[in-house]
Amino acid sequence: MMEGASFGAGRAGAAVEPLEFLQRPQTLLRILSGVFSIVVFGSIINEGYVNTDKSPVLRCIYNGHEGACNYGIAIGLIAFLACAIFLVVDLYFQQISSVKDRKRVVLVDLGFSGFWSFLWFVAFCFLTNQWQRTPFSQGATQGGDAARAAIAFSFFSILSWVALTLKAIQRYKMGTDMSLFATDQFPTDPNAGYPGYPTGSGVETTETYQSPPFSETLDPSPKGYQVPAY
């Protein structure tokens, strides 16, 4: 864990170097995930609808199943937008001063990444199954490369989003270093007692306080008074 880290980031308000940010594994994973998403929904939109030998009407290349094309486009487009949003959040994450807000961001990242890993797995299985059932046709042959590219990059997306999920788990386990928010008035040893408050100059002396002696002594037989004899 980095020194003074709070959910994977340092002290609030510290500047983030652009080069250092781009070299972070989490940043690279988000960029890759966004590129994979573009390939998936871009391939389906551009060449995922073809006509058959029997009908000029454009239909989904995956066995004519409109749900397969719609699912691939939707999950890819949402994943791309999510990557862009999380990249912005990562860039400004260190500016978040509240520990609770940082924790919420990490939990949202963890939940979304895990859920989208599952959805990409469903997409890979769904598209693969429908492609295997697709009958041979001229349109399927022409758009075959795009269909296979969408399936391949759906698989790559599973890996990238699983990696993002693991990074989010790692950030959550880091927790918070409370030294970011504590000051020096607390002792380093939790078992040590608090020092006493110094008085005066703080220099102790061995001398004890003595009242000054009386300058006058008491006369046992004051003038004008005699002890009566019995």
- pLDDT by residue (tens digit) across 80-125? 999 999 999 988 888 877 788 888 999 999 999 999 999 999 999 9
Alpha helices in the chain (DSSP H): 18-22, 25-47, 66-92, 99-132, 138-142, 144-174
Q: Show the tokens assigned to 25.
A: 């594994």
Checking if the pLDDT of 39 tops 80, the result is yes
Whole-structure pTM value: 0.69
**Residue with tokens 């006058």, as numbered in its chain:** 216
Cα distance between residue 29 and residue 50, in whole Å:
33
Name the DSSP letter for residue 7: T
Least confident of 64-68, 131-135, 145-149, 184-188: 184-188
DSSP for 127-138? HHHHHHTPPP-H
pLDDT, greater one: 46 or 218 = 46
Cα distance between residue 142 and residue 224, in whole Å:
141
Residue type present at position 16: V
Overall average pLDDT of the 151-162 stretch: 97
Are the C-beta atoms of residues 93 and 11 closer than 8 Å to each other? no
pLDDT, greater one: 24 or 4 = 24
Are the C-beta atoms of residues 38 and 157 closer than 8 Å to each other? no
**Residue with tokens 């573009």, as numbered in its chain:** 38
pLDDT value at position 51?
82
Cα distance between residue 135 and residue 142, in whole Å:
13
Q: What average pLDDT is seen over the chain?
A: 78
Could you tell me what percent of the chain has a pLDDT over 70?
68
pLDDT, greater one: 19 or 209 = 19
Cα distance between residue 70 and residue 33, in whole Å:
19
For residue 16, count other CB atoms closer than 10 A to its CB: 15
Cα distance between residue 28 and residue 164, in whole Å:
10
Residue type present at position 62: Y
pLDDT, greater one: 85 or 180 = 85
Residue type present at position 123: A
Q: What is the pLDDT of residues 48-65, one digit of tens each?
A: 998 876 777 889 999 989
Could you tell me what percent of the chain has a pLDDT over 90?
46
pLDDT value at position 190?
53
The residues pairing with 9 across neighbouring beta strands, listed in sequence order, are: 6
Cα distance between residue 217 and residue 153, in whole Å:
110
pLDDT value at position 183?
38
